[in-house]
């Protein structure tokens, strides 16, 4: 079974928000599940606000659905035992203000980084997903508009 999930590439001053997870100490962009009755866009808006406090954005586009599998070590955790992985849709957001930014309990730190740094520093089993997100035609179009560094 694959959980439905969304992820967000939040871009501010040419760099992308990445947070350090509280328990695992790994880096990732905002992501989370889609609640019952919620659209993927509504979930992306909610997750971005919940995890970062960011609300002042322009949504630039979204990917299609993408699957990734959990490695065996993750599936040993009782919470993930019956789950094969995630089915994700990613959204790209141009952040206009970070005035209300705050971290929730899922993260202990954050920073703004370029896509190469993020791809090199995320947990290994998510690397193919991040490569997909950063090679998507929508992302390439965003890069051509000089929104990114």
Terminal Cα distance for the chain, rounded = 38
* Short-list 96, 114, 87, 89, CA closest to 15: 114
pLDDT of residue 81: 60
Domains of the chain (ranges plus CATH)? 2-144 (3.90.79.10)
Tens digits of pLDDT across the chain (149 residues): 888 899 999 999 999 999 999 988 899 999 999 999 999 999 999 999 999 999 999 999 999 999 877 776 655 665 556 777 788 999 999 999 999 999 999 999 999 999 999 999 998 888 989 999 999 999 999 988 878 76
- Residues 110, 17: contact at Cβ < 8 Å? yes
- Residues 28, 126: contact at Cβ < 8 Å? yes
- Residue 107 forms beta bridges with which residues? 21
| CA–CA distance, 1 with 84 (Å, rounded to integer) | 5
Residue 66, burial from CB neighbour count under 10 angstroms (0-12, 13-18, 19+):
middle
pTM: 0.90
């Amino acid at each position: 079974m694959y959980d439905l999930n969304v992820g967000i590439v939040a871009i501010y001053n040419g760099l992308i928000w990445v947070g350090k997870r509280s328990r695992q100490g790994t880096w990732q962009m905002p992501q989370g599940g889609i609640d019952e009755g919620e659209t993927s866009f509504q979930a992306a808006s909610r997750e971005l606000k919940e995890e970062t406090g960011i609300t002042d954005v322009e949504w630039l586009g979204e990917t299609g659905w993408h699957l990734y599998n959990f490695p065996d070590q993750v599936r040993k955790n009782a919470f993930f035992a019956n789950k094969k992985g995630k089915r994700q849709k990613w959204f790209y957001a141009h952040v206009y203000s970070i005035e209300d930014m705050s971290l929730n309990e899922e993260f202990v730190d954050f920073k703004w980084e370029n896509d190469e740094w993020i791809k090199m520093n995320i947990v290994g089993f998510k690397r193919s997903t991040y490569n997909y997100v950063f090679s998507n035609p929508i992302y390439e179009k965003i890069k051509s508009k000089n929104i990114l560094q």
